[in-house]
Structure 1
Amino acid sequence: MAFAISLVDLAGYIALLLWGTHMVQTGVQRAFGAGLRAVLGKALQDRGRAFLAGLGVTAVLQSSTATGLMMSGFVADGLVALIPALAVMLGANVGTTLIVQVLSFDVSAVAPGLILLGVIMFRRNSSTRVHDLGRVFIGLGLMLLALHQLLHLLESFEDAPGFRLLLGSVSTVPFANVLIGAVAAWATHSSVAVVLLTMSLAANGAVPPAAAFALVLGANLGSAVTPVVEGPGGGDPAHRRLSIGNLVTRLAGVAAALALLEPAEGLMAAVEPDATRAVANFHTLFNLVVAAVFLPLLSPYARLLERLLPDRADPADPTRPRYLDPAAREVPIVALGAAAREALRLADVLAGMLDGAREALRSGDRRLMAETRGRDDILDSLNTAIKAYLTRLDPDDLSGDDERRLNEILQFTMNLEQAGDVVDLNLLPHAAKRLERGLVFEDRDRAELIALIDRLSANVRTAASLFMTEDVRAARLLAEEKVALREAETRATAVHFDRLRSGRPDVAQASALHLDLLRDLKLVNSYIVAAAAYPVLQRTGELLPSRLADDAHHGE
């Protein structure tokens, strides 16, 4: 009976360790998600900086798996070349070793303080970032607490004959230990957690050093499996180049390390007799050697992956352009027509995002919110493809009207893409915040938001029609929609200040969130108007350079 209870305790502490890791990862992503993506985007100019970026981002995220899934999406969208992406993954694998090195020391005494600080920050409502960083500190505290309890619990297992027999039966077979470590890392989505658990086992003498090192190799292998299984695919082998390439480097490294396991055991014992530190050092050494070997070979390795995993077009993939015929670039007027036809797809996608946002606000369906946010990737891909297509046209072949139309197409697509970003990064996160905080909108506020989203959907359809017809009357009507949104914001601001005087925090918070959503909708509408109405009005001389009164009127 006591043994069964101890097993439940063991599983519970492992679950606590994994949950703490999850809280750290999600907290960092919520607080700095866009910033981390920007860091990766700016650092992908050469493999050296890409390696360092992968190392740094993974050290912050506490997960090479999260970095791998993020980079797989970048490569699948064509935003990142394969060579720097592979360098990022080599850096990400080294980044996990920094986390393990820190946690290999006994820092459990700071766990209660971290949890207390995290709870205080988490309960604050003044700043979303402070709220998310509170999750990070709570997660770190839970990780340290779980590790400390695991060490104490494993001491009771040390002399248990059945447990030692079970571990002894697999400790003599390195391949079995690699397999166990790989399955555990894949199942938990965390090589760090598996390595830390292995350190606990080694510290208590439950597994010999060679078996601990084999478990570490398996953990490194398992962390590379998750992006292959869960990363973007869509039937196109090219989308799996990065994840498969990273897995192959892991396999090669594990195979070589298994062959050198005995000398590695002697080397680690000579450097650091402490079993816990030896496991951490082996984990670091393995990833550094793999990175040092493969980093100079990334160019031929990437070419090999491109030959083995060629591009395969999927006509059903919504992120792929349908009308951008390369041959049409020889005739600019035909190419511009193809680009305009492709640009209309952005209007359809944005309208779909607004419809999804409308239903998400009505129902509070988190899955619908996630699906709606995912459509922004379609806008990004199509906008990138259209810009690349149009910039390849020979300027000498373009007439004045052709250049004007080209600029209008670019303005249309870029503004709609920006509108989609507002829905993705502002509108839907604000809607999700209402659910997280349990806020309830008043009926008239919810009805107003739904009505305004319907109005924006109609404006998108008007903008798509205006983009093709260039009708001045329609342009005026669409531009006047900005006035309606501005008046709605003014009314909502006045109502919000009245509610602040009521002294009820829940009402004030719901009102502030309603105002944030209104401002998001106003910004979306501004991009829609700028996409189609402004070019027509500017060409006809009906667009003022500024809403400010001129000096003469100002002096009257």
Structure 2
Amino acid sequence: MVILEFLLQITAATLFLLFGVRMVQGGIERAYGNRFRRLLSQSGLPLRTTSTGFALAILLQSSAAVSLLASSFVSTGIVTFAAALAVVLGADLGSAFLVGALSFSGEAILPLILVLGGVLHLKSGRERLKNLGSVLLGVGVILIALEFLRGAVEPVRDSAFLPAVAGYLAVDVVTGFITGAVLAFVMHSSVAAILMCVALVSTGALPLAAGIPLVLGANFGSALVPVWLSRDMDAPARRVPLANLVLRGTWAVVAAFLLARVSLEALMPGAAPTALLIGLHISFNAALLLVVPFTARLEPLAARLLSDAELEREDVLLRRSALDLASLPHPGMAQACLRREVLRMLQIVEAQCLPVIDMMRSTTAEASAKLIKRDRHINDAMDAVRSFVAQMSKDDLPKDERKRARELAQYAIGLEAAGDIIVQRLVPRADQMEEENIRLSNEGYAELREIHEAILANIALASTLLIADDVDTARLLINGKAEVAKLERKSSKSHLKRLTKGRASSIVSSDIHLEALKALKDINSQVASLAYPILAREGHLLASRLVEEPADADLPDPIPPQRS
């Protein structure tokens, strides 16, 4: 009974710890996610890219999230393989430092963190402050979970069960290594997995000899997570997490082999077991930074491991429609196919939109041709959606479902229009700037990038809305649309002020800047249009934005008809 209670408590503490990590990560991504995209895409030198990855991993509480973000930029050509791998290696080190910071007891500041986080999350009217409150609450949850984990170990620490397991892991390095790898992969978080190992060692539930292979295995398992999550990306994007897995896996096996023969206590006599374990974790990841100057030379090896000929995934995904004519006799299946196809269209629009802001600084004919090629796929998908909706059985389909099918078809038309805006209005302006050597002012480019980031955030919300179909997400999407409109007005006003001051760069690029502003706003309007039918259906839209005329108001006399 004691063992069963221990397993239940340690499982609950682990899940609570994982929830806290996810809570912190989600709050930071909602508040600053698209700024991280900009920071990553602007990184250049190896030292800078490594520092960027280090900082992002601490903020996002996940090196896997940074790895996926860097990989997506490799796919679009914004970041090179060498820079992305340097970012990932820096993120792994940042994640290690984060473990060190969170492993210390925070009892003294825990009430303050919870109070401040709760007030911001529950009482603040600003979305960013609410997200900051979620982050603080998540940190509090992590600290509580670690204390819960330490407390769960106390009743069984002196029993026969836990010492037997700990003793076995201490002498069987391979089993300990595999256990740590599986733990990190299942939890999808090296931070949570290693924090749990450190907590068990700190209470004496596990000896240091058992904690070492667990931590090294968790490092290997954490590198498996982005490889798994990026399995649907194209070959260039998948090479980054694969190269990281090879590097970390090799180094983890070598380190486990060496430490099985060398006592860590002998290398650092007098240090506490917890400090030794955290020091090992940080040193392991710091040693991998020695590879950063040579990341460019690893690209040919990664290309041989995962060649373009082996995985031509992008074209397959672009051409593979989700519409299944066999589902037409089944209304529910047909509706699901239609929703999946519209979601695929939205993903193609996102892939088109992602590189367009960097093309306003520098572009090539190949980059423009790639976006135009993607637009043809959107056009084909829109035609297929229109035909599919026309063929859906009107007799078997309930009235509400018919209406939703028409709404999805209307949204598909809007997405096709968004793709046209990109290739017909933004891409030609980018080509014109490259041909005529026109450059936007630094302020103007920063304003366009901020709007672009907000649009990408709205595309993510629209993707969620296509799946969830709920009012709260729809309201967030409309708020996001209003935010873009506000940024567009602010940028237009700032641009006109720069013109009045005679700024040469603003004068030369004035037409392009204003046209890009209008185009971005129009793209965002098409993306956000998905929310209106949902809000109207639930009664969350006003019939008119005009103030109603009071009943007793003096109305002007009608204009009498003119005599001919």
- Could you say which TM-score interval applies, normalised by the shorter chain? 0.5 to 0.7
One-letter amino acid of the counterpart of residue 30, structure 1 = R
Give yes or no for the alignment of 1:50 onto 2:49: yes
The Cα shift of 1:252 comes to 1.5
The answer to whether structure 1 residue 151 and structure 2 residue 186 are counterparts is no
Distance in 1 separating the partners of 2:153 and 2:457 = 50
The aligned residue for residue 543 of structure 1 is: none
Deviation at 1:197, TM superposition (A): 1.1
Structure 1 match to 2:298: 301
Deviation digits for residues 131-157 of structure 1 (CA, Å, limit 9, x no counterpart)? 111111111000001111211221222
- CA distance in 2 between partners of 1:73 and 1:340 (Å): 16
Paired residues for 1:207-218 under 5 Å:
207-218=206-217
**TM-superposition CA deviations, 1:10-45 (whole Å, max 9, x none):** 1111111010001000110001001111111111x1
Deviation track 1:447-470 (CA, whole Å, cap 9, x = no partner) reads xxxxxxxxxxxxxxxxxxxxxxxx
Give a deviation string over 1:108-134, Cα, whole Å, max 9, x none: 332232222222211235111111111
Backbone CA RMSD of aligned residues: 4.8
One-letter identity of the residue aligned with 1:152: G
Give the Cα–Cα distance (whole angstroms) in 2 for the partners of residues 511 and 350 of structure 1: 30
In structure 2, distance between residues paired with 1:338 and 1:233? 23
Q: Find the aligned partners of 1:439 and 1:41 in 2 and give their Cα distance.
A: 29
1:261-272 matches, within 5 Å, as 261=259, 262-263=261-262, 265-266=264-265, 269-270=268-269
Q: 2:372 & 2:34 partners in 1: Cα distance?
A: 31
What letter is aligned with 1:189? H
Q: Which residue of 2 aligns with 1:281?
A: 279
Is 1:39 equivalent to 2:70 in the alignment?
no
Structure 2 distance, partners of 1:286, 1:422, is 35
Deviations 1:246-269 (A, max 9, x none): 100111211221122043613554
CA contact 2:190–2:222 (8 Å) conserved in 1: yes
Q: Which residue of 2 aligns with 1:181?
A: 180
Q: Does residue 424 in structure 1 map to residue 459 in structure 2?
A: yes
Higher helix share: 1
Partner of 1:113: 112
Residue 20 of structure 1 corresponds to which residue in structure 2?
A: 20
Give the direction of change, closer, same or farther, for the CA distance of 1:157–1:309 in structure 2 (3 Å limit): same
| Structure 2 residue runs without a partner (length 5+) | 319-347, 353-364, 387-399, 437-448, 479-518, 526-531, 533-537, 546-564
- Amino-acid identity (%): 27
1:209-264 deviation digits (Å, cap 9, x = unpaired)? 22211111111111110111111435x44332011101001112112211220436
Instruction: Kindly state the Cα deviation for residue 428 of structure 1 after the two structures are TM-superposed.
Output: 6.9
SS in 2 for 1:310: coil
Deviations 1:68-93 (A, max 9, x none): 12222222233221000000011011
Which residue pairs with 1:161 in the alignment? 160
The 8 Å contact of residues 197 and 214 in structure 2, kept in 1 or not, is answered as yes
**1:110 touches 1:141 (CA, 8 Å); kept in 2?**
no
Matches of residues 365-380 of structure 1 in structure 2 within 5 Å? none
1:424 maps to amino acid: I
Aligned partners of 1:86 and 1:298 also within 8 Å: yes
Q: Could you tell me how far 1:101 is from its partner in structure 2?
A: 1.4
Amino acid paired to 1:221: F
* Aligned-partner Cα distance in 2 for 1:419–1:131: 18
The DSSP-based 3-state class of the residue aligned with 1:105 is: coil
Question: Structure 1 pair 429/180, CA: closer, same or farther in 2 (3 Å)?
Answer: closer
Corresponding residue to 2:379 among 325, 348, 356: 348
> Does the C-alpha gap of structure 1 residues 427 and 308 become closer, same or farther in structure 2, counting only changes over 3 Å?
closer
The Cα shift of 1:288 comes to: 0.5
* 8 Å Cα contact 1:268/1:278 also seen in 2: no
Cα deviation, 1:408-447, whole Å, max 9, x if unaligned, reads xxxxxx9xx9997585167678999994759999xxx9xx
CA contact (8 A) 1:58 1:96 kept: yes
Q: Does structure 2 retain, via aligned residues, the 8 Å contact 1:10–1:153? A: yes
Q: Is the 1:198–1:212 Cα contact (8 Å) retained in structure 2?
A: yes
CA distance in 1, matches of 2:453, 2:95: 35
Q: Which residue of 2 aligns with 1:519?
A: none
Aligned to 2:240: 242
- TM-score, normalization: structure 2? 0.61
Unaligned runs of 5+ in 1: 322-333, 397-413, 446-478, 486-491, 493-505, 516-556
Is the 1:154–1:200 contact (alpha carbons within 8 Å) kept by the matching residues of 2?
no
Aligned residue type for 1:26: G
